[in-house]
Each structure stands twice: as C-alpha cells, then as structure tokens.
C-alpha cells in the first residue's frame, strides 16, 4: 500500500507484530479511517483519514496503551484489562522459569544426591537455568510474530527484570521454608505464588505505560 496522501503519526511503545496489530485494530475502529499502515520498527502509523479524524485516531492509539508524538499515556493502577494481560504474560514467564528452576532442584534432590554441591550453588544454578528456560519459552512464543533473532532480543529486553524478581522470590521462599534446594508437596505452590505475585506489578507497569510485554 502506498503511503502517499496518507497522514503520518509517530507512535511510541510498539515493540513487535502484536503491538502493530493492536494499534492497527484501534485505528480501523475509528469510523472516519479507511486504511492504515503500522510499523513498530520505525514507530510510524500511516492512515487515510477523513476530515476531523486526527484527534479520534490519536485518542484511539492512546487508549490502546501507546503514546503519540510527545503525548503521554495516562497511567493508573486501576486498568482491569491491563491487569489481566499482565497476569497472562507473568504466567508464561513463570512457566518458563519453573521448568528450569524446579527441574534443577529436583535433579539434585532425587538424582544427583551425592554431587557435593552446596545448597547455595544448587540454588544459583536453579535460578540461572530458570531464566534460561524462560527466555527460550518467550522466544518461541514471540518467534510466531517476528524473526527468531528479533524474538530473542525482545524476550531478553522484555522480561529480564521480571524473571530475576521471579527467581529471587521463588528461591527465597524455598530457602526460608525448607532450608533451600528442596522440593516438597507443600512448598511448591507457595514458591509459585511468590514467583507470580512479585513481578506482576512491574509487568503491569511496563504494559500500561509502554505497551511492552507482547505475547
């Protein structure tokens, strides 16, 4: 589609194809818009408007969770839809982290029982493996929306702080309740709950303010 004779807006906060799709849908929902081209790579939105539609398009993009030009996205902690989306993102991050983390602890507890590794060494390895498996899972999910190398970069930038907080919470719970590097039927749900709740507000903030956390 040619961009000649189309209006241009600079939109900030888009990081992937899912962002493009959300912005595109928001713009086309404006009755006065007939077509649109959205690119997250150069933060551009081209659209074919009718008279008076510029403000409507701008408001639609901001309502979708992105900023236009120098405008600021209004931020609050009361957006139930964003809480739901960020919970979904956090859940996938938790699944990825749990595979590596709990798998490592379980391996040393039930298989490599005479490894000679200290509790702290096992827990640090569990945290590292948890972050790695989470990045792998996030990359696989994002690779359905973009090329693999870009998906890997987005997965790291999007989730690293979340994963570190999640891993720290899970392993601190394990340490204080069992002495560390030990899985029991009752401690796993508590670990998972702590791992979910700890980064959830951060994931909400990222999604609400910047539109980042695209699954």
User: For residue 161, is pLDDT > 90?
Assistant: no
- Whether 96 and 36 map to the same domain: the answer is no
The DSSP result for the chain, as a single string, is: ---TT-EEEEEES--SHHHHHHHHHHHHTSTTEEEEEEETTTTEEEEEE-TT-HHHHHHHHHHTT-EETT------S--HHHHHHHHHHHHHHHHHHHHHHHHHHHHHHHT-TT----HHHHHHHHHHHHHHHHHHHHHHHHTTTS-HHHHHHHHHHHHHHHHHHHHHHHHHHHHHHHSSS---TTHHHHHHHHHHHTTHHHHHHHHHHH-----
Asked whether residue 59 falls in the same domain as residue 107, the answer is no
pLDDT digits (tens, 9 = 90+) for 33-54: 888 889 888 888 888 876 557 8
Which residues partner with 45 through β-bridges? 9, 38
- Structural domain range at position 18: 7-68
More confident residue, 47 or 169: 169
Domain identity same for 187 and 85: yes
How are beta strands 67-68 and 33-39 bridged, if at all?
unpaired
Same domain, 43 and 98: no
Same domain? 172 vs 93: yes
* Residue 75 domain flag: no
In terms of Cα–Cα distance, which of 115, 126, 111 is closest to 181? 126
pTM for this prediction: 0.70
Q: Are residues 105 and 41 in the same domain?
A: no
Q: Find the helix packing angle between 119-142 and 80-110, rounded to 10°.
A: 130
Least confident piece of the model among 133-137, 163-167, 205-209? 205-209
pLDDT per residue over 116-143, tens digit each? 999 999 999 999 999 999 999 888 887 7
Say whether both 206 and 131 belong to one domain: yes
């Amino acid at each position: 589609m040619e961009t000649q004779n189309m209006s241009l807006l600079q939109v900030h906060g888009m990081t992937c194809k899912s962002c493009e799709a959300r912005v595109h849908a928001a713009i086309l929902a404006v009755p006065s818009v007939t077509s649109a081209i959205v690119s997250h790579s150069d933060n551009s939105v081209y659209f074919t408007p009718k008279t008076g539609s510029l403000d409507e398009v701008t408001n639609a993009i901001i309502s979708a969770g992105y900023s236009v030009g120098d405008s600021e996205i209004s931020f609050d902690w009361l957006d139930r839809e964003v809480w739901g989306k960020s919970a979904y993102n956090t859940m996938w991050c938790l699944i990825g982290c749990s595979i590596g983390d709990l798998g490592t602890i379980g391996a040393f507890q039930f298989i490599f029982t005479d490894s000679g590794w200290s509790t702290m060494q096992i827990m640090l390895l569990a945290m590292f493996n948890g972050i790695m498996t989470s990045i792998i899972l996030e990359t696989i999910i994002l690779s359905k929306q973009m090329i693999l190398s870009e998906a890997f970069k987005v997965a790291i930038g999007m989730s690293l702080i979340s994963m570190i907080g999640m891993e720290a919470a899970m392993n601190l719970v394990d340490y204080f309740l069992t002495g560390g590097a030990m899985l029991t039927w009752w401690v796993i749900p508590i670990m998972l709950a702590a791992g979910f709740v700890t980064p959830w507000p951060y994931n909400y903030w990222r999604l609400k303010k910047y539109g980042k956390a695209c699954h």
